[in-house]
Chains A and B, each alone.
Chain A
Amino acid sequence: MAFEPKQPQKKLKYEELRIYTDEELRNYTEEELKNFKVKHSIPDVEELEKGPWPSFVADAKREALHRKKLADDRVMIPKDVVEDLLGQLQLSFDDGETHWKHGGIVGVFGYGGGVIGRYSDVPEKFPSIAHFHTLRVNQVASKFYKTDFLRALCDLWEYRGSGLFNMHGSTGDIILLGTTTEQLEPIFYEMTHELDQDLGGSGSNLRTPSCCVGKARCEFACIDTQDLCYELTMHYQDELHRPAFPYKFKFKFDGCPNGCVASIARADMSVIGTWRDDIRIDQEAVQAYINGEILPNGGAHRGRDWGKFDIQKEVIDLCPTRCMWMEDGKLKINNRECNRCMHCINVMPRALRPGEDTGASILFGAKAPILEGAQMSVLTIPFMKLEPPYDNLKELIDKVWDWWMEEGKNRERLGELIQRHGLWRFLEVIGVPAMPQMVKMPRANPYIYWKEEDVPGGWDRDINDYRARHKR
């Protein structure tokens, strides 16, 4: 099978796009790097060069040296931005406070997101990072890249920005850290025209959707997470670039209930792959696990001697619904009782596989603690078949957004609105009935908001009528 992009994609050849020559890219020696000192005294920052874990300081210093040795006209923002950034980091350590000012409205024409203004509050000390804006670049679904793309992006960003990245930011974007206001439009122009690549979201809009590795390299994926992520990203470009929402809105796509992209904790709409038929069992492979021929859990525990694999103790007894047992040497599963937690499949991936009738559960409303406390997404749609072009999901999203844009207060996430108005109101909006799967347990208080039409005779009553039966 193969997927087609929605529009023709420009073939990228780094050799055609490149800005820097090989000599410029290798413009310092290891010896020079060893002896290199940045222009500020940064003893605490330099302390972080030690230790086995990759040092971001050692990395930043090579970028600083590389920039320093480029000719003046080979970068469009100051050459010493990395040195000033490290200097400001040291000052922040000294002061125990950040030295970045509060925001600032900058952007590219026609977009309300994708660029975050950033200004140093000590520009006299660190003039090169006085203006140091962030751009968010919409990452490729599941973060596979070709080096032609990455190298071209490096040249562009080193030439017109700091050469400093986040690979990747928390929401998923490639983050470009630090450039001047003047260079924002040129960067956007080159990125869209030459790299065929757009910015991501920021502010009160659809944030850049993200997904797990999915069917590209995982046997558990129940949905095409990349295709879903790409299709919805493309379909909702306007919502992504032009803030019109009460606050941010995140989509994340997990291929299975293992939840590798953490959608249930951080997406306003969490799409999690699942199945509704039976777990596929290969009884011979089950025996191979029991006989110790295959390591359990894909070898994830091989660093320690946990003793011989015990299917009763490690699988059957840990099943949260106790829906498995051995019978005549065969593993049996009562699939009607299974809640698809993935444990047995994770432990014995060669013997057990998710079913073949796959789709997704849709949950809504996760968010971090600001403001009313952290929330996880609430199970709302138990199962939805998801086939391109995913019109059923898009219709659902449109209903959710209409309601949230109408009722949501400024900076109120969907999950908070659902809490404020009640889950049942949300269900009315999206047009689905209530089901017990939406709750851990029914409510313990009887404070039900009965509606007038629920009660025979309505709510308007005559006090005289009442008093005719009951004296004052």
Chain B
Amino acid sequence: MAFSLERLGKYNPEKPTENRITDIGPRHFWEFFPPVIKNNYGKWLYHEILEPGILVHVSETGDKVYTVRCGGCRFMTAENIREICDIADKYCDGYVRFTTRNNIEFLVDSLEKVEALKKDLLSRKHVSGSYKFPIGGTGAGVTNIVHTQGYIHCHTPATDASSMVKAVMDELFDYFTSMTLPAHVRISMACCLNMCGAVHCSDIALLGYHRKPPIVDDEVIEAICEIPLAIAACPVGAISPDKTASGKRTVKIKKERCMFCGNCYTMCPALPLSDKEGDGVTILAGGKLSNRISEPKFSKVVVPWLPNNFPRYPEVVQAVKKILTAYASDARKYERLGDWAERIGWEKFFEKCDLPFTEHLLDDYRLAYDTYRTSTQFKFTEAAWAVSRAAGGID
């Protein structure tokens, strides 16, 4: 069979259930494995990263598979996918793999093919000069940033995603193509705290955040929203029922109680909260997912807010570089960013990263007390002397 060229294809709108196929799930994975993967499934003995972006996996059968990993854009076009297919057809018998972190992996069975592939991949550039397929993203470096939809295709973002990732990765490019850090660093980006990207356990997380309470669209809220659902959606009870002067049902918002989560807007389109001056970027750091050495842990807010300075976000890029540079020079081998911060103490983290600690970083949401220090075990930094001075404890 072939694809239909008819406007509605083979679909008959008069009889929508005719010949309908449903619930068939995805294609089965086995047919998409290259032969070397099929032959060695479950038999892999060990792997080695030969150089940034190049891995070899060795099987108990003696087979080897070489992987060339390239950075990719999560947002990509049919043109780009076809180019990936051209490369896969030329070098990999028509097989290719994508990773969880939006990288592209080409698998080959010899070092000669690796060399040819590398040369080809690095020669491919966009007309504007950027690489199409930079090689790297392995080992103790920075791999690709996972991210969300942003202004490209989402209705709730507090910032854009693809552009911020591009701006940050341009600056961290050398960390992608090298393995010089104490451990791997996972950076993730979500453009609002719905976090369809779930960035909350990343070494560095970039998070779009609103700072103005929703505007109530009194004229339409009654017609387009379930008002009780909108009220119930607020986790801090800041929304209550109200009536307009003309007697229409609406809601009012206790503005000082709002913490800008946007959950009400998700439930009710008549409560928009995006705003040019209000919206910006929060940076969190020190999270991890793996169980290696220490337990998985959440990222912590280390920069409360930076402006959405499109298209390059210089303040955000600068803050990420500060954190990364301090970590690179101070952490021990195998130590993840969060483990480093915990070893030196968060007060030293702020000192070494040259980041101000403001009252915004003191938790006041659920379980806030868990984050308060209830001991005399601390280290003196400039921030400590400032408090002592303010209390009249020292001159």
Contact = CB atoms under 8 A, between A and B. Distances in A.
> Are A and B genuine complex partners?
yes
Contacts of B296: 259, 264-265, 376
Nearest to B32: A144
Interface stretch (B112-120, B154-162, B373-381, B386-394): B154-162
A58 B130 contact: yes
A168 interface: yes
A367 B64 CA distance: 38
B102 A168 contact: yes
A155 B47 CA distance: 37
Interface residues of A, number: 167
A158 B5 CA distance: 12
Contact of B24 (A47, A196, A346): A196
A9 B132 contact: no
Interface stretch (B92-100, B240-248, B249-257, B347-355): B92-100
A60 B77 contact: yes
A198 interface: yes
A41 interface: no
Interface string A327-358: 00000000000011111001101100100000
B198 to A, nearest CB: 4
Contact of B140 (A56, A190, A192, A303): A303
A318 to B, nearest CB: 6
Nearest to B98: A143
B285 to A, nearest CB: 14
B26 A230 contact: yes
Nearest to A47: B311
B214 interface: no
Nearest to B104: A167
B200 to A, nearest CB: 4
A163 B333 contact: no
The residue in A139, A186, A295 that gathers the most chain B C-beta atoms within 10 A of its C-beta is A186
A397 B355 CA distance: 45
A179 to B, nearest CB: 12
A100 B25 contact: no
Interface in A182-220: 182, 185-190, 192-198, 210, 212-213, 215-219
Contact of B153 (A178, A182, A342): A178
Please report whether the interface of chain B is mostly helix, strand, loop or mixed according to DSSP.
loop
B358 interface: no
Given A55-B166, A189-B11, A262-B198, A301 B179 contact: yes
A366 B298 CA distance: 12
A167 B98 contact: yes
Contacts of B155: 98, 100-103, 118
A111 B198 contact: no
A146 B9 contact: no
Interface stretch (A88-96, A384-392, A428-436, A453-461): A88-96
B360 interface: no
Nearest to A139: B26
A118 B153 contact: yes
Contact of A194 (B1, B67, B139, B232): B1
A165 B201 contact: no
Contacts of B82: 25, 151, 154
Nearest to B74: A166
Contacts of B4: 186, 190
Contacts of A85: 152
Interface residues of B, number: 153
A257 B294 CA distance: 11
Interface in A268-303: 295, 297-303
A125 interface: no
B362 interface: no
B78 A157 contact: yes
B212 to A, nearest CB: 11
B216 to A, nearest CB: 15
A153 B298 CA distance: 38
Nearest to B55: A298
A21 interface: no
Contacts of B8: 182, 185-186
Contact of B2 (A17, A168, A238): A17
Contact of A19 (B3, B77, B99, B166): B3
A115 interface: no
A62 interface: yes
A138 B29 CA distance: 12
B130 A368 contact: no
Contacts of B13: 185
B187 interface: no
Given A17-B2, A372-B366, A376-B201, A150 B85 contact: yes
B195 interface: yes
B290 A98 contact: no
The residue in B29, B148, B365 that gathers the most chain A C-beta atoms within 10 A of its C-beta is B29
A340 B308 CA distance: 42
A105 interface: no
A128 interface: no
Contacts of B198: 170, 262, 265-266, 366-368
The residue in A158, A297, A300 that gathers the most chain B C-beta atoms within 10 A of its C-beta is A300
B49 interface: yes
Contacts of B367: 373
A3 interface: yes
A446 interface: no
Contact of A49 (B130, B139, B153): B130
A99 interface: yes
The residue in B78, B132, B197 that gathers the most chain A C-beta atoms within 10 A of its C-beta is B78
Given A216-B37, A230-B26, A53 B134 contact: yes
Contacts of A366: 198
Nearest to A263: B289
B151 interface: yes
Given A97-B274, A186-B9, A230 B126 contact: no
B23 A262 contact: no
A370 B78 CA distance: 34
A257 B290 CA distance: 6
B46 A303 contact: no
A165 B100 CA distance: 15
B36 to A, nearest CB: 9
B322 interface: no
A2 B263 CA distance: 46
The residue in B32, B233, B261 that gathers the most chain A C-beta atoms within 10 A of its C-beta is B32
Given A48-B311, A93-B311, A300 B138 contact: yes
A177 interface: yes
B275 A96 contact: yes
5 contacts: A25-B82, A145-B95, A146-B31, A166-B149, A300-B140
